[in-house]
Structure 1
Amino acid sequence: MSIIKKIKPRFWDHYDASGASMQPFSFRRKWKLIVILTSVVALIPLLVMTLIDFQLTKRAIESEIHVNMIRTVSNTWQAISSSLTQRKAALDFIARDNSYENLNQAERLSGILKSLQEGLGGFEDIGVVDARGHVQAYTGPYDLKGANVYSDKCFQSVIKKGFYIKDMHGEAETAPHLVMATKHVLQDGSFFVLRSGLDNNLMNNMISRLDIGRADDAFIVSNEGVLQTPSRSHGGIYDKISLPIPEPVSGTKTMEAMAQDGTPVLVGYAHIPDTSLILMMVKPKSEIMAMWYKPRMKLVGLLVLSIAVILLAVLGSATYLVQRIHDADQKRVAALHQVEYSNKLASLGRLASGVAHEINNPLAIINQKTGLIKDLFTMHQRYASDEKLMGLVKGVLSSVERAGSITGQLLNFARHLDTDIERFDLGEMVGDLMGLLEKEAEFRRIEISLKMPGEKIVLESDRGNIQQICLNLINNAFAAMEQGGQLDIKVAVNTPQQITIVIADNGHGIPPADLKRVFEPFFSTRAGHKGTGLGLSITYGLVKEIGGDIAVESKLGEGTRFIVTLPMKVSPDRQQNT
């Protein structure tokens, strides 16, 4: 119960009798309403944005996987296509560079094969076939010389197209390999075909170097679905895959399909030019979802954390707000009394101003008449030599001066909240102030250093306030240098709209613990009853009243430095408020 009491707000069990419809005003009900409405307003956009971000992130990951797959397939497709194109160009060059008779020579053909194997690699054999399909010359590991391939699909295709690459075939007498053939027309109109078998490892090596996941698969398949390279999950060479064979298209594409075991997969593919071969890359959709799992968990975790932070912020803000309202309600009567008290002070100020003006008028007359009487007395030796009579006249004049000083203080009190805006020369005002303090500084053995800018500084502000600010700070510096010292006053123009007045002394300084409290009312660092603690507080209020700022820097034993920043012109808003 003690813990509940400690955390329970003060307004929880408080009801105000001023509720609407003659019902008690419940702060608890207001708190609940604020919490519910704020939570709904804050959480609904968060949930909507999270759902949108959820979908966008998922699409972005899927898109990235698609792009990576297309890039991998496209790069491999380009490498294979480039390799086949190089070997096709080599066969074309050999057919043009050598006569038909030279190619039929076994030694010449053997040298050509050796050069191809050393230069490009990947060639297993090479042979020359005449127009009737007879293999006239052959160099390689198989016994093909004298064979007739006229009815072979590769031979018929090369006659029609001029060039043909046959997918791998597995005759008993040959190992699996591709067959590349090119047609060359002779000058008499006849032709011959230069054919060569390509090593199967040529494409296997390119695919095996692919950086793919453990569950991914990459292979080359014919347009009939027969594997041309080994596959991780679809069998070996000559096995038929269960995946659908895409129609011939240009470029690299992707499609979604179902594997033989019913697993959804993403397939990237590209048709190899001038062949019936298709490069395919397969990635299970489960791998895609696995890549999406970690961002999804982060997103859910962020959502839970965000909801928790929002709810804590809503509960804390609602509690703080309602507590402030409750405290303000509790202080309502006290505030009304304070307003009444302030009105009384304002009335007192107006009364003081009126009394001072009313007293000043007869004082002026008394001062003039007494002065006239003194002048008349001094004109007659009889009265001028009467010390008692002249002493009475001087007493009257002294009392009038004292009464004038009191009424002046009353007027200053009445005008404390009034601001008189005028244009004046700051240098002239500071000069007048220095003339006023010169004698006191000599008496206290204090040297004053004044630094003013070369140009004239004209302010549009309250001259009396600024003069009072400077005077208060200088008097404060004088009090800190009881044994004499150095007072530096520097005026600088920061910007066309702002000036700075720095007043620094080398007095005893202010302790760090007291430095933050120097502008508090009734706080004084002077020993005994030498100060009321209001001087710097009043100075702070005067600075803020005309839109300025004041700061203090001090070190014990080294002195204190006050920096006053003032605007060149009081803002219209402050003029209207004065």
Structure 2
Amino acid sequence: MSMNVFSRWLARFLPEDQYGIDDVSGINKRYKKFRTNLLTTMLTISLLPAIITAAIGYFQYRDLLQTTEREQLLWNLEGAQKTMQALINELHSSIEFIVREDRCDEILDQDTLDGMLIRLKLKYNGFVDLGVIDSRGIQLTYSGPYKLKGYNYRVQEWFEHVRGRGFYISNVFLGYRNIPHFVIAVSKKRPDSEDHWVLRATINADTLQEFISTINTKASDDIFLVSRTGKLQTSSRYFGNAMEYCPICETSSHLHEIFKLERGMGDVLQVSAPLENTPWMLVLVKEKYIHQAAWFSFRKRLLLIFLGCSATCLVISYSLANMLTNRIRETDEKRQSLLTEAEHSNKLASIGRLAAGVAHEINNPLAIIDQKSGLMQDLLGLTEEFKYKEKFYTSIAGIQNSVGRCKAITHRLLGFARRMDVILEEIKLNELIQEVLNFLEKEAMYNRIRMELGFQADLPTIYCDRGQLQQIFLNIINNAIDAIGKDGLIAISTRLQGNDVLVRIKDSGPGIPPNILQHIFDPFFTTKAPGKGTGLGLSITYGLVKKLGGEITVSSEVGKGATFEIRLPVKPDKSAERDNNERNQSINR
């Protein structure tokens, strides 16, 4: 069942048999369709594995880069988190050093507090002011650029937080000064009572930006601090300046969360981690791996390799498709040629049998005429001289010459019917063609047909049959004259090509249509008017060329004339030469 399906598919795939089809354009379309189908099939078979392999490599490498990118980004986040935490802890330690429990009364002194602020500014330029606040929320002592002594912080949210936990860092806010800053507050218990006191330090938000800048790394494209509610504490490359709202950052409440952000510049990877004892999240953002040099380089190489493979497959498939199509076409043409030649041979055999019968019937009377004329010549030699004796001799010689000519004609006619002996001799082909042209010179002049000769001067002599060569060229040139009619040109050229001599005869006639061209060597096939041709000339010519070991081909375009090419071996094959030598030896004996 499967074999039958495959056979039917193969029959539709291969071009149809062209034997007996005269439509050349239809044949060309069938082979063009076959070439296209074959090329499509070969490209599909060759490119499909390449496409699958490229797709697998693409996605596998993408996943590998994505995993590596995430691991690298998380590793950088941990390092940045530790650095930032150390800086914050250092700020905390600096404040803790000031607020030892035994220094409450000391720092209430204005000069002492001013000195502490100066020392802190020397270490961290971002410190703005210091204030000591009692348990009622009233600022007892203040060191800074503003008049905040006596200010009551009782209702501030941060005041309750610092009293409850002992340490507090606020989010960045504008406050009284309308400048972004944040507060660090530390609460301590007085040693002589149960009351608490608070040291409040105000620091510009630029300090955080400086901290972030010190840990900025090429491993990430953006690093910033954000509050738990999504408000930026430092500037961000992608989301704006400090105090602006970051819509996607408020969800970053767990360590090592990875987000994919759909933005105009493409997807990005974001990781975040909380900073201990602060309300802040440290966030690292990196443009996704597709924006990295490794990914670009891989895609470029993969594309180049795929295009290279595709181009190679295309060239090889196209070459193979053309080669296979041409081979199949050549095989079909050879098969058609063999079938045509077989059909041609059958026709020639039938005509040969008819020609043989006619030749034998003519040879019998000719033999009698030849015999009687010889007897008459002998008897005439025995008689005495008389007035018309020489005239009788001349007449008898004319009879014998005519008989010889008739024998030669019947000999050629029998040659069409059966293989006759080829008499090999050295022949100068250029001179032989000139002899044939001399014979047709008057007819060509009468029809105003010009002969253009292009003979190779050093053309070697060939071993061939003179009479049969004369008949070959006589038939072809005579047909060219008939085809031209009046006012035309016949170009004849000879040249050596390998071990063969090539004779090309081109006329300026009307040309031969393709449907007639393939039947031109068929017996009795003629396009001449009834009574003006038998259709045997080119058939006999074809048979003679084959018998001499040569090849004859014809090409033509309608309106551009026809060209006959006769290829003859310089020397016959050994078997023909041996037969000829044996025949000559038998004649000599």
TM-score after normalising by structure 1:
0.42
TM-score after normalising by structure 2:
0.41
Highest CA radius of gyration, 1 or 2? 2
